[in-house]
Structure formats: C-alpha cells, structure tokens
Amino acid sequence: MKRPAIILTSKFSTETSGKSFGKYLGYMARKEALESKEYLTEQERKEINRVTIKARELDVHGKFRKIFDQSKDGLVNKQAKKLLNNKVLSELNDDQFSKYLGYMARSSALATIQGKRELTPQETKELKRVNEAANKLTDLKVTKDKLAVGFFTSDMDQVHLKDFQHIRDQLTKAQAHHSVLWQDVISFDNDFLIKKGILNKETGMLDEQAMRHASQEMMKTFQAKMNPPLYQPYWMASIHRNTDNVHIHFATVEAINQRPIIERKDKFGNLVKQPKGRRPQKVIDQMKSVFTNTLINTSDLTKEISRNRDQVRANVFQHFEKQKENPDFQAMINQFMEHLPADRRNWNYKWLEKNDANGKALLDIITETLLKDDQDYRTYQKDVSDYQDTRQALYGISKRENKNYKVNKLKDIRRRNGNAVLKSLATLDKQANKMHKKISLKLKVNPEMYFQTLLNEVKTQKSSLGAGGRVAPARRNIQRKRNLYLFTLSKKRIEKLKKEISQQTRKEMILEKGHVSLDKRKALTEYEKIQKAAERSQE
C-alpha cells in the first residue's frame, strides 16, 4: 500500500539528555539542507558542482591537512573555527573558504618572520593586504540581512541570518528553565503536493505561505491540547526539500517548564528527575489533522458537502410532492406502509434499522427513486468520493468500516433522506386521520389503497374548508347553537370565587378566636396553618 501523503513523526529531549537546545538551530541550517534540495536554481547547481569538484581537489592535494595539521601556532585552526561559528556554513562557497584559509596561512607565516626580524616594506604591505582580505571575508555585515530561506518561527514569518542568535537565545533560555524540547518532522509525498497545487512540478516553487499558515495552526493546537497548556511556547521551523520528499522540521519549547517531574533511569542506570516530555497520541493526531485540513482547505470542502447534504434533503420533500400522484410511486408507498407500525411516533429510520431491515431497504429504494435525476445529489456523491480519495492519500486506507468516510457519509444521507420521506408520510397520515381518531385509517383501509385513501381524505377535508382555511358557514352556525345551551365559567372567574370564599372563611375564624378559650385559639391557629399548606400544594 502506498505511504500516506503527509506523515508527522515526533520526539523530545530534556535538559538531562546532555544535548544543547541551541545546536538544533545549527542542525536545521546545515549545508546538507542545500545539497539535498530536489529543485535548485541554476546558481545553486553551479555552487554544488563547484564545491564538489573543489573538495575532491583539496582532498587529493592534502591542502586541508597541511593547513590544519602542520600549523605550529594554531592560528589558522582558530580562525577557521571562528569563521564556521560566525557564519552559516552554506553561506561560504569553496573558493571563499580556500581563499580565507590561504590568507590566514600567509598571515601566520609573515607573523612568524616578524617575530625574528623586521619585515621589509614589501612584506609589510603584503601582511596588511592579506589581513584586510581575510577581515572582509569574515565581516558579517555583508550577510546579516540575507534571508534564511525556509525558516520561520512563532514570532517571525521570515528569518534573516541576523535573527539566528535571537532564536538560539530563546532555545537556550528555555533549556535553563528546564523546558522540554519537542521535535517534530512533517514529511510530504511530492506527487500529492503537486496534485493539490502546493508544489509546482515545472519550476519547483513551493507555496511556503500555505506551509507557514498550516504550521501556525498546528502549533496553536499543540499549545491548547496539552494538559496543562504550553506556557509561552516558542517554536521554530525549517522547510527542507530533498530528492524524495519535502519536509518541515519543528523545534518547540516553553518559557518555563510546566510539565510534571518524573523519575527515570539514565543510560548508566542512575535515577534522574526530568520533566515528562511524552505527548499523548491524541494530541499528535490532532496536530496532524489541523495541519492537513488547513493546508488543503478541507474545511471549505466539508462545509460545501454539508450544504449539499441539506439541499438534497430539502429536494426529497419537493420530489415527494411531485410524485405522490404517480401510480407507480403510490404502489411503492403502499408496499412500504406494511412495514410501518400503527404508532406514528415510531415512524423513523432508526426504528426500521432496529426492527425491520426489509422495510429500511425498501425505504432506501424509494429515496433513490426520488433522487435519480437530482443534480445536487450527484454533486454530493462526487464531493464525498473526492474527499474520500484525499483522506486515503493522507491517512491510508482504513481496515475498519466505521472509519471509512465515504461509507459513513452515504449512510448518513440515506438516513436523512429516509426520515424526510417518513415525515412527509406522517404529515399526510395525521391530516387524513383528523376525523378518524378512534381507529387509524391504516387499520381500516385496504393496504393496497392506503396512500390513495390518504390523498382523497385530505382533499375532502380541504374542500370542506372556506376561504383562509375557516370552517364552512353551515358548520359554524351549528357550533354556535350548541354553545347557547352550555353554562360555563371562565378560569379567571373560578379563581376569583375561590379567593372570595377563602377570605370569608378567614374572617369568620378571626371572629371565633376572639370569643373562645386559649386552647381553642391554639387549635384554630393550627387549623389555619394546615389550610394554608393545603392551598399552597394546590397552587
């Protein structure tokens, strides 16, 4: 099976691992990143070829061994190390590096002569020249403003060489505050990126802005989903391109460690305390999901799929109204009605799934018949299939059916469409049974004529209504005459009478209390309490 189009791999380091967090920046900026690019500019190709050829020549002639190993005072060695520390390795081509080492070798030789005797005017002039040339090569002013292609951080969309020290400082400070260093790599299948328009096959141009945006959203998820959430996280990222796949390296720290401290054995068997760096797999899965959905705008596609789904359901109601006079459709409904219970509360797709598989299958056939020429339904099916292909490219093919996106979506829309048909049937049945409340029409009429009977009953009821759906005049007069013989009290009038009776009872009790003994007054007081409690309970 083909590998997924996007893979996220993760690991972590702690302060007790003996590794400097700051060196991770150097790792991501190494020269090999340039040499492993799949798409190179013409200038980069020439530089790679020149460096390769020059390296072979230097190895053959042993120039590097001569300069480093035979230098007595070590000046050249120190200067070379200084150069490598101060400048990104990929910023110097081989010619510049060779010239610099040559200048340092000649400067060292002249300095040795100067220690033994006074230099001649020509030697003094030469010493000045080589020192100026060497200083010019090591002067960082030329390269400080150069853009570090592919680098971005939590606070910078574009990184220049002069920003590298700031990045190192952030990583080093976090390590001093016992932070975990989380390292992630997202790798891509280049064919997938080309298909989605993120990578241009002809020019090799990569949509780095889309990569940055997806990375930023992923890191927001990382911060929020950790328990506790990351405290003032700082992260950096570097996009690399090689012959197999584009990939992005990430390094993340928090300003002050918030992870619980645990004990573990180091490689020597000693117990050491360190922050817990392992992330739950659920967090890693959510990070990948957010990155992927943001990169290829799957949220827009899923919203469109949801809109189409709702439109298809609305279309089912319309198609039902158009087809209800069709004899073939009526025959299908009559056959299906035999599978439904008498109680309309159970007229739903879930009940059929649980109690009558044949009835559910027949309902699916009815909905498919209604939607056979529906363009919105075809669009929905195509969008679901396309998204399924995208998901399989991203995550691989799942062996579990409940994880199959297309299968689940088609099940869902069948359920929704089936319930739409059942709702239309229930509405008709309810209208037709208004005058047959004791015995449902479903139990009285011939099953083969049930649907036709419903339609005729509804038509009959509509014809008996006047304009605006009012009761016809003759029927209204009969109702008025009947009301003349009925003596009724409104609810408001009843409540008023109850209140008056209650007040009168209280007055009589007060009068009685004034002319009775102490024991009787206590008994009356207790009786009043009981009466009030009874009134409250009735309220």
**Longest Cα pair distance anywhere in the chain, in angstroms?**
143
Number of helices followed by number of strands (H, E) in the chain: 22, 7
Q: Are strands 261-265 and 6-13 parallel, antiparallel or unpaired?
A: unpaired
pLDDT at 20: 59
Hunting for tokens 């020290």 — which residue is that? 165
pLDDT at 326: 92
* 98 neighbors 129 (Cβ within 8 angstroms): no
Q: What is the CATH number of domain 6-14+148-296?
A: 3.30.930
Residue 393 and residue 399: Cα distance in Å, rounded?
15
Distance of CA 125 to the CA centre of its chain: 67
Name the residue among 215, 252, 219 with its Cα closest to residue 235: 252
Distance of CA 481 to the CA centre of its chain: 68
Q: Which residues, at least 6 apart from 340, have a Cβ–Cβ distance to it below 8 Å?
A: 346, 347, 359, 425, 442
Name the residue among 168, 184, 166 with its Cα closest to residue 20: 168
Hunting for tokens 């509405």 — which residue is that? 427
pLDDT at 225: 93
Name residue 264's beta-bridge partners: 272
Residues of the chain with pLDDT under 50: 30-39, 48, 51-94, 97, 140-142, 402, 438-439, 467, 471-472, 474, 476-487
Residue 294 and residue 212: Cα distance in Å, rounded?
10
Residue 257 and residue 233: Cα distance in Å, rounded?
10
Q: Which residues, at least 6 apart from 351, have a Cβ–Cβ distance to it below 8 Å?
A: 341
Going from the C-alpha of 168 to that of each of 20, 30, 149, 245, 384, the distances in angstroms are 10, 15, 17, 27, 46
Going from the C-alpha of 333 to that of each of 320, 337, 361, 372, 493, the distances in angstroms are 11, 6, 13, 17, 52
pLDDT at 451: 83
Residue 164 and residue 25: Cα distance in Å, rounded?
8
pLDDT at 86: 42
Residue 186 and residue 183: Cα distance in Å, rounded?
10
* 425 neighbors 347 (Cβ within 8 angstroms): yes
* 441 neighbors 450 (Cβ within 8 angstroms): yes
* 93 neighbors 130 (Cβ within 8 angstroms): no
- For residue 345, the number of C-alpha atoms closer than 13 Å in the C-beta half-sphere is 1
DSSP 44-63: HHHHHHHHHHHHHHHHHHTH
pLDDT at 392: 79
Tell me, what DSSP letter sits at residue 385?
A: H
Two tokens at 277? 């760096």
* 94 neighbors 51 (Cβ within 8 angstroms): yes
* 434 neighbors 418 (Cβ within 8 angstroms): no
Hunting for tokens 């590794």 — which residue is that? 19
